[in-house]
Structure 1
Amino acid sequence: MALTLSQKVLVALCVLLGFGVTHFIMVKTVHHSTKAIILRAEFVLALETILACVSVIIWRTFAPCFNTHSKFNHLRTASTMNGVPQRKSSHDDRQSFNDGSTSSKGEWSFFKVLLLVFLFLCHCSYLTNIIFISKEPYWYAMLCYICLGAYIQLVVGLIIGKIALFILHQTPLKLKRNQQDMETKVVIFIAILYSLLASMLGLYTASKPPPVRHVKIPVRDLPSNLDGLSIVQISDIHLGPTVGFTKLDMIVDIVNTQEADIVVLTGDLVDGKVQSLRSAAKPLGRVLSKYGNFFVSGNHEYYTGDVDNWFSYVRSLGFVVLHNSNVQVPAKVTGNQGQICVAGADDIQADSVGYPGHRFDVASAVNGCSESQPVILLTHQPRAAKRALDSNHKIDLVLSGHTHGGQVFPMILGAYLLNPFYLGLYQYGPAGSHVYVNEGTQYWGIPMRIGTSTEITHITLTKADHLQGEKDCSTQK
């Protein structure tokens, strides 16, 4: 017996409720390594479900155009009945086109096979995070993620094509509405052209060395001896299926040319376990700075289920891991010289997954910092930055990452709407605190940047009265 709409909705709500309760119990009870596996499985299931739905739309849209015997071949093909050439009716032609059928049932063209392979590679993309991770990216993983990037742009291209047709129908040049086959071909042409151009641009942008962005930030109570202190920030490198040793080695070379006083890495260094990416992360051991290198966790460190081992390994490479803790910089001063307090808090994802011994804890992170000295907080996500600045603790500057600026269009819109700080420099609160959101030194998975860029940030701290009223420091979202 068929279910009514209300019954279907009720069943869906029950399934979601059951899933939510199961997830809550899982978070509170299972070991963190098992939890990481379950979380990845949930993500794969959600991703594959979305891709499956969209892939059906893409197949039904594109496959009919790739038949060996298209409508236009039928128009040229005559059948003989009692010696009289006959042509298929336009109704039969249109039905054949829309159904994706050919004159010989089951016959496939080269382009239909290519489309099927393309969709298959897209569906395999995230699975390479589990299998194809090593010192350098595997070509298969790169191909899968390139296809996924092109897939997203193909969907955008289809939307652009539909919008273009809608506009065309409102003009004197509009096509007749019964010319469905021609309209479909126009939409497909626009979608493929846009996807190719956008994907090539994205690949080119992401392949370039990350540019160094210079930013001056005024800080209250900055000691005179630290006026002009330089901080080089890197973030969101995502060592994994598409970023490896060579990319990180290049980043370290650029960082070292900046001759920084401090180097900070604000999370999402990796997308895999230490045993798989130990060699890929090795260039971090070459990072040079005057007062020290500092690291805080990002959400992807917790997705690996191996964050404690990463903390140990990053420490062995010369980084101080700020695990809800802080240090004084410089470590030693003489005379009237002053210090700043550099603090770091665990990523808020630690709270969500219930990772033992880890949580976002601003109070512990700044415990011991003096009210009379500047406090620089490192925390991965802008949402955590806002929570920290809305607390009662004195925080003068927060350095974050996470958003990637959206990385590729149209995710740019989601990154902007879902984060209190999107990218770049913001002034926040009556005390004149600041937040800087790094756009990402590399990329996650898809080796493309469309409408965004990679970034290494060179921050110069100045006494607050030096930059009073500067426009680039007055943005608040």
Structure 2
Amino acid sequence: MALLSVRNVLTGVSIVIAVLVAQIIVVKSCSHQTRAVVFRAQYILLMQLGMLAFSFILWRNFRDFPVHFSKFSCEVQSQSLTTRQKQRSSASPGDDPGASTESLFCRRNLHTSSDEHYTFSSSQNGSRSNVHNIWRLSLILYLSLCHLSYFSNLFLIDKNPHWFGMLTYSCFGSFIQLNTGLLLFKTLSLIVKVWQNYVLKISSGGSHSSLLSVSVSGIHQKRIIGLLSLIYMILASTLGLYTASQPPGVESVKIPVKDLPNNLYGLSIVQLSDIHLGPTVGLSKLQMIVDIVNKERPDVIVLTGDLVDGKAETLRGATQPLKSLTSKYGKYFVTGNHEYYTGDVDNWFSLLRSVGFTVLHNSNVRIPAELSENEDGQICLAGTDDLQADKIQYGEHRFDLAQALLSCSTALPVILLAHQPKAARLAVDSKYRVDVVLSGHTHGGQLFPMMAGAYLLNPFYAGLYSVGDNRHVYVSRGTQYWGIPMRIGTRMEITKITLVPTDD
């Protein structure tokens, strides 16, 4: 078994190295469409290898769960029976009401190890064997659905989500929560065990209740932890599915801007980000978003990347509600990393322009546009390509702050749209005037415990940040979600930003 595990690890490492080498070769020699395919294949491979490791953990912990739980029930009955017998030492065993046939049956079968099957009568053995087989088959099916989730991005994208895509991604979300529950409760059981063995033993002379001893002993840990993890998974997943099914809330934020022209005091900018039209978000959710935005009557609408998870032709029908978005000074779009994963950015630019968006492709505009460039009373709204464009080498696309701000006057306030917080950090640390950066990308973590990674891997996580003198970064938590139709510990938002003058 150990040798098999080592071989599996070495095989996985070899595959990853081969893909990375192939990626280097492809990046240098092939078209950006091919490079996008290679990047996606690499992502799928790494994702599947990681999921295999966690699937193995779940299989080891839950493959015999019905047997474990049945045996645990027997052991609890046995301990309870023993306690009653001690209390009634003067009574004969036959007079003990706890000595039921089932209890005696359990006691006769408590001598097997925790990982062995029981020896039952033929009828009981057949029944329990059937339950065990059904459980294992169900577990295999569940893990298979989890692994199939991302493939719905490739084959099941349409105007509205396909039921199979929703099912597989929901399973994937519960898969994350089940592994999280295992980690949490195993950690908790270790803490309780240490506390019991050292602190409680000193304070109470080793007197423990039988139930506590059952719950923390080595034999029972696996059963109790498994049950608690399943309960946690069900509760967390149900909460996550419900939260993600609700409309995004409107988050109102005031941002002070230096030299804000008098005519633009109170300018409202509605920011949308990370809608992720694809396997689990479609036309109906986008229409709901558009209806909410139009009720806010914004002056400007900005979409800061990750609108889509598929090709333009496939999702053309799902994007049609974007035509109905209305604002006083227009609607603007910049790319996110997921646009580049599609390998179809140029077609997306054409489609978005057809529904009324101005694409800020390392470029800028003046707002209000009707004023002359020599007049006061404007701000410069700029946008950059996402950092992923540099990695995938998509045509002439790249993160180019200098080009994006080229014609912005230093006398005017500058609002920059840049999808990733890492790009926002580059902007506010640059020599250029950048008053406000609007970003997304993190989703606020989307799910517990993924929010820890989102927090650690990004210079800005979620919400409003003040950086130095008169510079601000706002990171949206996302208007929808990526893939997994769940939100746990964070919320979806449509951000309404109001520009106000600084105090000085």
Partner of 1:461: 499
| 2:102 is aligned with 1:96 | no
2:426 maps to 1:397: no
Matched residue type, 2:347: N
Greater shift in the superposed pair: 103-112 or 436-445: 103-112
- Structure 1: distance between partners of 2:348 and 2:71: 59
Paired AA for residue 33 in structure 1:
Q
Counterpart position of 2:301: 263
Q: Aligned partners of 1:341 and 1:281: how far apart in 2?
A: 27
- Aligned position for 2:152: 128
Q: Secondary structure at the match of 1:126?
A: helix
Distance in 2 between residues matched to 1:333 and 1:16, nearest whole Å: 55
Single out whichever of 215-224 and 177-186 deviates more from structure 2.
Answer: 177-186
Name 1:221's counterpart in structure 2: 259
Cα deviation for residue 90 of structure 1 reads 4.6
Name the SS for the 2:164 alignment partner. Answer: helix
Which amino acid in the other structure matches residue 96 of structure 1?
E
Q: Which runs of 5+ in 1 are unaligned?
A: 77-84, 469-477
Give the conservation status (yes or no) of the 8 Å contact 1:168–1:175: no
Secondary structure at the residue paired with 1:251?
helix
Aligned to 2:348: 310
The Cα shift of 1:87 comes to: 8.7
Task: Give the C-alpha shift of residue 143 in structure 1.
Answer: 0.6
Counterparts in 2 of 1:11 and 1:306: CA distance versus 1, 3 Å: closer
- Number of residue equivalences: 452
Whole-angstrom distance in 2 between the partners of 1:371 and 1:7? 60
1:68 to 1:158, Cα distance in 2 relative to 1, 3 A: closer
Aligned to 2:358: 320
Shift of 1:185: 1.4
Quote how far apart the aligned CAs of 1:95 are. Answer: 3.8
TM-score, reference length from structure 1: 0.88
- Relative to structure 1, is the Cα distance of residues 439 and 69 closer, same or farther in structure 2, using a 3 angstrom cutoff? closer
Separation (CA, whole Å) in 2 of partners of 1:69 and 1:251: 46
Q: CA deviation at 1:177?
A: 9.2
Aligned to 1:443: 481
In the TM superposition, residue 111 of structure 1 has moved relative to its aligned partner by 2.5
Kindly state the Cα deviation for residue 67 of structure 1 after the two structures are TM-superposed.
4.8
Deviation at 1:388, TM superposition (A): 1.3
Structure 1 261/73 Cα, relative in aligned 2: closer, same or farther at 3 Å? Answer: closer
After superposition, the Cα gap between the structure-2 partners of 1:230 and 1:151, relative to the gap in structure 1 and judged at 3 Å, is same
Distance 1:91 1:212 in 2: 61
Q: 1:474 is matched with which residue? A: none
Q: CA deviation at 1:271?
A: 0.1
- Provide the residue aligned with 1:238 in structure 2: 276
Asked whether the equivalents of residues 16 and 46 of structure 2 are also in contact (C-alpha less than 8 Å), the reply is no
Q: 1:383 to 1:405 in 2, by over 3 A?
A: same
Q: Match of 1:197?
A: 235
Q: Is the 8 A contact 1:268 1:402 kept in 2?
A: yes
Check conservation: 1:259, 1:289, Cα contact below 8 A: yes
Deviation of 1:163 after TM superposition, in Å, equals 2.1
Q: Is the 8 A contact 2:74 2:106 kept in 1?
A: no
**Which residue in 2 is equivalent to 1:473?**
none
Shift in Å at residue 28 of structure 1? 2.1
Secondary structure at 1:212's aligned position in 2? strand
- Residue 443 of structure 1: SS of its match in structure 2? coil
CA-CA distance at 1:24 after TM superposition? 2.0
Residues 317-360 of structure 1: CA deviation (Å, up to 9, x unaligned): 00000000001110112796511110000000000111111000
TM-score, normalised by the number of residues in structure 2: 0.83
Aligned to 1:225, the other structure's residue is in SS state helix
Note the aligned Cα RMSD (angstroms).
3.0
Partner of 1:118: 142
Q: What is the percent sequence identity of the aligned residues?
A: 51
User: Do structure 1's residue 160 and structure 2's residue 172 form an aligned pair?
Assistant: no
Question: Relative to structure 2, which stretch is displaced further, 319-328 or 27-36?
Answer: 27-36
- The answer on whether the counterparts of 2:23 and 2:38 sit within 8 Å (CA) in structure 1 is no
**Distance 1:86-1:202 versus aligned 2 partners, 3 A rule:** closer
Cα contact 1:74–1:93 (8 A) shared by 2: no
**Which string of whole-angstrom CA distances, capped at 9 and with x for unpartnered residues, describes residues 212-262 of structure 1?**
011110111111111111100000000000000000000000000111110
Partner of 1:420: 459
* Cα deviation code 1:365-414 (max 9, x no counterpart): 01111010001100100000111111111111100000000000001000
The Cα shift of 1:36 comes to 1.5
The Cα shift of 1:59 comes to: 0.9
Whole-Å separation in 2 of the counterparts to 1:380 and 1:210? 19
Please identify which structure carries the higher helix content. 2
Quote the Cα distance in structure 2 between the aligned partners of 1:428 and 1:451: 26
Residue identity matched to 1:392? K
TM-superposition CA deviations, 1:27-62 (whole Å, max 9, x none)? 222111111111111111111111111111101111
| 1:410 paired residue number | 449
What is the correspondence of 1:359-370 to structure 2 with a 5 Å cutoff? 359-370=398-409
Aligned-partner SS, 1:184: helix
CA separation in 2, counterparts of 1:13 and 1:116? 25
2:380 is equivalent to residue 341 of structure 1: yes
CA distance in 2, matches of 1:8, 1:214: 51
CA distance 1:338–1:69, change in 2 (3 Å): closer
Alignment partner, residue 25 of structure 1:
25
User: Quick check: 1:133–1:276 contact (8 Å CA) kept in 2?
Assistant: yes
Task: Look up the match of 1:139.
Answer: 163
Shift of 1:21: 3.8
Of stretches 161-170 and 17-26 in structure 1, the one that deviates more from structure 2 is 17-26
